Each structure stands twice: as structure tokens, then as C-alpha cells.
Amino acid sequence: MGERDPARRRWLRRGAALGAGAGLGVAGVPTGARDLPDSWRTPGEGFSNYGRPVDGGPIRWMAVEPGTSGTGASWTPLHELDGTITPNGLHFERHHAGIPALRADAWRLAVEGLVDAPLSLDLAALRGLPRRSAQAFIECAGNSHALWRPEPVQAPVGWLHGLVSCSEWTGVTLATLFERVGVRHTARWLIADGLDAAGMTVSLPLATLPDGAMIALFQNGEPLRAAQGHPARLVLPGLEGVAQVKWLGRLTLADRPVLSRFDTVAYTDLQPDGSSRRFTRTIGVKSVITDPAVGRAVAGGPTGMTEVSGLAWSGAGHIVRVEVTGDGGRHWSDAVLEGTPRHAAFTRFRWAWSSGGRGRPGPHGPRGPRDAAAGPVRLASRATDSAGRVQPDRAALIEEQGHGAYYHYNAVTAIEVAADGRVIHVHLDD
């Protein structure tokens, strides 16, 4: 193109000729003649080696334990995202002693214990093994823990339920690795050690390792970020986050567990009878409505809503059904599940509110705005997974486990949209 383009030369000549007239800018370009968007008049920004999110876009909420710089958690802003994949920069983080500075070229993964051929793999060697990709959510067992308390907590969905995120992970499956080292038949446990300063060790019964368990090297296509365990982490689809050890340094095949702090002291749930549930590794079936959401008023109140949407997931299978209620739990009807629900991955559900029962009617149909009018409406979602597990009502969960548990909360969560559009969390059994 450029000056060799005859059409462009003709245009330039015409511009020069017009330059004698009124309304010309300094460069001889007509101005003010038409009301055009500024972005049509100004060449845009250049390239960057690594893109950045939109200005003012969603960010995580963080809580750091006093006296530390990197111990605590950050929450995925579920209420500001859509779809099913969490952007890498918004994946939740829970670190017990900060993010270690590991040099990838000095890093080694030891695979030893009850194996025929112990291995020490550097990153290149690990990357040289056959890899697999799969979507999987990771949920911290402490997600939603504030809801064990009697009063509904008025915080945005992401700040309550955002210790869960979903990515496509790529890495070397444990099956591949175990074949290489030759796991002996006496092995019953996999002991995983992290290289952070938290004393991170977990004991995993071999028989309960999920299909697709892998040493992940990539997240959503890019090499693991430091905060997600670079150079390598365990990804165990469907298991609680703490088991999916980041900054993996050693895998030991053993005939006995460690019963580490992360096996027994933390991530166990005190029950009303004084016992504690332990090795609650598999994440229960769960769903949350992300739109409407606490902290973001609905314009026009309930009559202004068109769609209710949210996320559902289960560690024990894939989501087969999400029901939504628009009348505080009296009637439930099926939401539409987007795409093909996958094992241990997010499923996005959508439920037509404005259809007044015509969108995707269940047995009773959604009780839409034409019936509910402007009054406050109570919305909740309830998921069912392929293992037949149904997300429990809050009252049932509390009845079974009391208020002393801290982790593994997966009960139905409800919101109320007031006439003026404000959204609050409520407990349906109130």
C-alpha cells in the first residue's frame, strides 16, 4: 500500500486541493465535518508481549493473615465473570506460607518410595512425557465457610464462594508416571510434598485418586504461574484444593499415611458428637447463582430481571441437573445447562426468569415477574450430579453437621431481590 497505491494518491491530492477551503486541520484533514467516534480518528495503542485485562475489570478480593505477606487467600470474583473458565489472573489462591521463589532450572521432582525405579525429573524431562489436558475446577475446602454461621453473610458471591475456580490443565498423568517408576503392589498411599515453607505434606489413598489425576504444567494453555505452583503442581480433579499440592517437590509411594497437619488438624470438620470428619477429599455437589448477585442491584427490581445464571460443580461426577426456585423454594424448575457438562468441571446454568414459565418449564414452571410482581423474590439453585448426589438444603446440612464444621460447606445458597433491586443473601429456612 502506501504511496504506491493509486487510490490513496488520488485521495491525498483531493485533500490538498480542499486545503484551500474552510474546516481543515493542521494536517490538511477535514475536521468537524462529521460526528465520528474519537476512536475512528485516532490510531490505537500498539502491541504488548503479554496482554492485560480491561481497565476497571474484575479483580480478586484478598485477605492476608496478620504478620505475614503471603499467607491467606484471594477470591475469584465469580459475580463479575461469565462462562466456565476462570482467567489465570483471577484464579483463587490459598497459600499457607506465601509463594516460594523456585528456579525452574534447578527444580526437581522426586518420585520414590515403594517403586521399582525411583526418578528425579527436571522440568525438561517432565515436559518430555506424554501429556493430557482436561478442564477441572479446584475448590478450597474452606470455600463458603462463612455460611456455617447462623446469620447469612452479606458479601458478594465471589467473596463468599470464590475459593473455587475452573481451568483447563495440561500435564503428565499420574498413571503415566506410575507406569514409569513401577509402583509396587504394597503401596497404598501417595505422599505429596510441596516446596513452600508451609510444611505442606498430604497423604492420599491410592485407591481414591481420581481419574485424570496429573502433574500439571500448564493452566489454560500457558505455563503454570508462580502462584499456581510453578513449575508443577498436582491436579486431582474433584478433590479438595489442599490435596492438589502446588510447587510439587516429591511424591512418595508408601504403605502408610503421614497424617500431617493438612490431613488432620486442618481440613477436618468437627461434628456435634465431638468427632471430626477426616479425609473428606471429594468435593460435594454444589451450585451458586452468580447473576443476580449481592452487591450489584438489579435495575428495575425483580420485574427487570431476564435471566438467572450461575455455576454448578461436583467432585464426584458431572452435573446432570440444576433446579432453580424463584419463590423461596416452593417450586423448583430445571435450568438449561450450557454445553456438555464435564467431570469435575464448572457447568454454567441459565434459567429464564422473564419467560413467566414459558422459557424452559419444569413441573411447575418458573414463577416469573408477572406473578411475583415487584415484591421481594427469593432465588436459589440446587444441583444434582451424575453420582446421584443432590446439593443439600442448608437446614439438612446444619442438622447433620451442626455449626462446628468449618470446611466442605455445599448447601443451597439463596438470595433475595428486593423491590428496589437490592440483592441480599438469605437462608431459606429462616
Partner 1 sequence: MTDPVRRVRRTSPRAAHRGPPRIAPAALLCLTSYTSVASGAENTGSVPGTGAVLPPPIYADGQGLPDGQGIAARGATLYRQGCAGCHGAQGQGGRAMELVGEHESLTSDWPDRGIAALWPVLPPLFDYVQRAMPPDAPGSLDDAATWDVLAYLLALNGLHPADEPLDAETLLEIEMPNRAGFRDVDAPPAQRGRGPLP
Q: Is 85 in the site for partner 1 (CB under 8 A)?
A: no
Choose which of 4, 34, 52, 185 interacts with partner 1 (CB under 8 A).
52
φ, ψ of residue 337 in degrees (nearest 5): -95, 125
Q: Which of 129, 134, 158, 130 is nearest to 146 (CA)?
A: 158
What is the nearest approach in angstroms of partner 1 to the Cβ of residue 421? 23
What is the nearest approach in angstroms of partner 1 to the Cβ of residue 102? 12
Q: Hey, is 411 helix, strand or coil?
A: coil
Q: Hey, is 379 helix, strand or coil?
A: strand
Choose which of 85, 198, 336, 418 interacts with partner 1 (CB under 8 A).
198
Site for partner 1 in 398-417 (CB under 8 A): 403-404
Of 7-15, 272-280, 322-330, 371-379, which part binds partner 1 (CB under 8 A)? 272-280
Residue closer to partner 1 (CB basis): 300 or 388 = 388
Site for partner 1 in 231-260 (CB under 8 A): 249-250, 252, 254-260
Do 166 and 86 contact (CB within 8 A), yes or no? yes
For 184-205, give the DSSP string: -TT--EEEEEESSTT--EEEEE
Q: Is 212 in the site for partner 1 (CB under 8 A)?
A: no
Residue closer to partner 1 (CB basis): 258 or 396 = 258
Do 306 and 369 contact (CB within 8 A), yes or no? no
| All cell numbers assigned to 107 | 527444580
Cα–Cα distance, 148 to 407 (Å, whole number): 9
Which one-letter amino acid corresponds to residue 102? L
Cα–Cα distance, 177 to 201 (Å, whole number): 19
Of 277-285, 297-305, 352-360, 381-389, which part binds partner 1 (CB under 8 A)? 277-285
Q: Is 279 in the site for partner 1 (CB under 8 A)?
A: yes
Residue closer to partner 1 (CB basis): 45 or 273 = 273
Number of residues that bind partner 1 (CB under 8 A): 88
Of 55-63, 167-175, 335-343, 358-366, which part binds partner 1 (CB under 8 A)? 55-63
- What's 357's DSSP letter? T
Q: Is 128 in the site for partner 1 (CB under 8 A)?
A: yes
**Residue 258: half-sphere exposure toward Cβ, Cα within 13 Å:** 18
Q: Is 388 in the site for partner 1 (CB under 8 A)?
A: no
Residue closer to partner 1 (CB basis): 24 or 129 = 129
Q: Which of 291, 423, 305 is nearest to 366 (CA)?
A: 305
- Counting Cβ atoms within 10 Å, is residue 33 exposed (0-12), middle (13-18) or buried (19+)? exposed
Q: Is 67 in the site for partner 1 (CB under 8 A)?
A: yes
What is the nearest approach in angstroms of partner 1 to the Cβ of residue 169? 18
| All cell numbers assigned to 156 | 458478594
**Residue 84: half-sphere exposure toward Cβ, Cα within 13 Å:** 22
Q: Is 343 in the site for partner 1 (CB under 8 A)?
A: no
Q: Is 387 in the site for partner 1 (CB under 8 A)?
A: no
Q: Report the 10 Å Cβ neighbour count for 305.
A: 23
Which one-letter amino acid corresponds to residue 306? T
What is the nearest approach in angstroms of partner 1 to the Cβ of residue 118? 6
Do 287 and 293 contact (CB within 8 A), yes or no? no
Choose which of 19, 25, 57, 83 interacts with partner 1 (CB under 8 A).
57
What is the nearest approach in angstroms of partner 1 to the Cβ of residue 74? 9
Choose which of 24, 270, 374, 396 interacts with partner 1 (CB under 8 A).
270
Q: Is 229 in the site for partner 1 (CB under 8 A)?
A: no
Q: Is 108 in the site for partner 1 (CB under 8 A)?
A: yes
Residue closer to partner 1 (CB basis): 191 or 308 = 191
Q: Is 50 in the site for partner 1 (CB under 8 A)?
A: yes
- What's 206's DSSP letter? G
Q: Hey, is 326 helix, strand or coil?
A: coil
What is the nearest approach in angstroms of partner 1 to the Cβ of residue 83? 20
Do 262 and 390 contact (CB within 8 A), yes or no? no
Site for partner 1 in 358-377 (CB under 8 A): none
Peptide bond into 292 cis (omega under 30): yes
For 234-252, give the DSSP string: EE-TTBBGGGS-SSEEEEE
Four-residue CA torsion sign, 162, 164, 166, 169: positive
Site for partner 1 in 139-158 (CB under 8 A): 142, 146, 153, 155
What is the nearest approach in angstroms of partner 1 to the Cβ of residue 311? 20
Choose which of 133, 264, 355, 386 interacts with partner 1 (CB under 8 A).
264
Choose which of 1, 39, 40, 48 interacts with partner 1 (CB under 8 A).
48
Residue closer to partner 1 (CB basis): 239 or 428 = 239
Q: Is 227 in the site for partner 1 (CB under 8 A)?
A: no
